Amino acid sequence: MGRNKIHVDINKLIDLIDKGYTQIQIAKELRIGKNTIVRILEENNLSTKTRYEDLVGKVYGKLTVIKRLKNTKDRRRLYLCRCECGNLAKVKAKYLTNGDTRSCGCYKNFENYQDKNYHEAFSKIGEKYGRLTIINIEKDTKKNRYYMIYKCDCGNIVKDFYSRVKSGYRVSCGCYAREQSSKRMSNICHYNLYSKYRWYFIKNDGQRVNCRSGYEVIFANYLIVNDIEFEYEPNIFKLEDGKRYTPDFYLVKEDKYIEIKGINYELYDKGNQKEKFELFSKDHNIELYYWEDLCRICGIKYKCYSNILTKAKRLNLCPEEYLGNKLYL
C-alpha cells in the first residue's frame, strides 16, 4: 500500500525560505516531518538559505567591521573594515573569523620592523656602559618595545631602556648612587668641625678634636687619662653594596675598634647603623659600648645621661667641658 502524498503550499514554503527559516523551523511551521520537508525541497529544486552570523560592528585584531559588501565572484561574504591606523580594507568573512587577517597590512609591516629592531638589539649583548653590561633582551608584548637586561658589577640584574644607559642617565643598578651618598655623608661626619652640640675633647698635645656625642667625649677622656693610644674615627671603610662605615675609635696596641652608642640600636637606629656595624664586624675586631658599658669601663656611677648634662648646666659649664674636666682631667 503506497503512502498518501502530502500536499504543501509551495508559495508559503518559498516565503518561509526567503524569510531565512531553517528546515526544522519550516517543518514546525507547516506541521510536517523534517524528512518530508527535505523530500519536498528536492522535488521542487529548492533549498533553505544558510544563516550566517552578521559581523558588522565586531572587532578582529586591529580591524573593526563597518558594513557588508556584495559577495565576491566565488560567492564569499565580503566586509568593509576600518583599521586602527585609519586605512579601509575589504576582507572576506572567513579571513576575519579564522584570524588570518588582523589589520590592513600595517601590523605585518610593524612586525617586520620589530624583527629588525630585535636583531639589532640582540647584537648589542656584551656592551658595557658604566657598571652595567648587557646580557639579554626582553620583549614587552603589551607595549611593543624592548628592554635590555643588564648585569651590574656588584652582581645585581636590572632591566632598562638602551637609550637611558647609553646616554649615561643610568650607570648602575643603584649601588653607585648609594655608595656616593654614603661617601658624602661619611665625609661630612668625618670632617665636620661643627656638629649640632659641638662636642669635643682635648688631646695631650693640646689639639681639639670635635666628635659627635658626649658619650664619645667620656670615652676619649678615659683613654687620654689612662695613656691608651687611640685614633678617633680612623678611617672610612667601604662595605658591601656600596655602604660606608666609620668606627668611632681605634685602639692601636689592641688592634681593636670601638663603636660608642649611648642608646640601644633596638630603640633608636638612625641610618641603619646596626646593619653597617654587623657587616663591619664580620672582618674586623670591634666592640660595641652602650651607656651602661661606658659607666662600667670608665668607673662612672651609673645614672641617667641627662643628669650629667643637668649638673654641668648648674655649674655654668658647657657639657663637653664638664665631661672633659670634671670627670677626668
pLDDT digits (tens, 9 = 90+) for 255-282: 999 998 877 766 666 667 788 888 888 8
For residue 82, give the H/E element and its range: strand 78-83
Helix (H, G, I), strand (E, B) or coil at 270: coil
Locate 106 and state its grid cell. 600595517
Phi, psi of 198 (to 5 degrees): 55, 45
Encode pLDDT of 50-100 as tens digits.
666 788 999 888 899 999 898 888 878 899 999 988 889 999 988 888 777
Per-residue pLDDT band at 303 (split at 50, 70, 90): low
Confidence check: pLDDT of 193 > 50: no
pLDDT mean over 284-313: 79
How much is the pLDDT for 304?
60
pLDDT at res. 192: 44
With a CB cutoff of 8 Å and minimum separation 6, the contacts of 145 are: 139
Res 1: pLDDT: 46
Which SS3 state, helix, strand or coil, does residue 215 take?
helix
CB 93, CB 106: distance < 8 Å: no
- What pLDDT is stored for residue 256 in this prediction? 92
Highest average pLDDT, of 165-169, 193-197, 268-272, comes from: 165-169
Residue 251: burial class (beta carbons within 10 Å; 0-12, 13-18, 19+): middle
63 bridge partner residues? 60, 83
CA distance 237 to 10: 103
Q: Does residue 195 or residue 257 have the better pLDDT? A: 257
Model pLDDT, residue 277? 86
Q: H or E element: which one contains 77?
A: none
Mean of the per-residue pLDDT values for the chain? 78
One-character DSSP codes across 148-211: EEEEETTS-EEEE-HHHHHTTS--SSSHHHHHHHHHHHHHHHHH-S--SS-EEEE-TTS-EEEE
Burial of 257 (0-12, 13-18, 19+ CB in 10 A): buried
Q: Which residue has the higher pLDDT, 197 or 111?
A: 111
- Report which of 289, 295, 292, 291 is spatially closest to residue 277, judged by C-alpha positions: 289
Whether 197 shows a pLDDT value over 90: the answer reads: no
H/E stretch holding 243 reads none
Which pTM does this prediction carry? 0.40
Helix spans in the chain (H): 10-18, 23-30, 34-43, 93-97, 106-122, 162-166, 175-191, 214-225, 273-281, 291-298, 305-314, 319-321
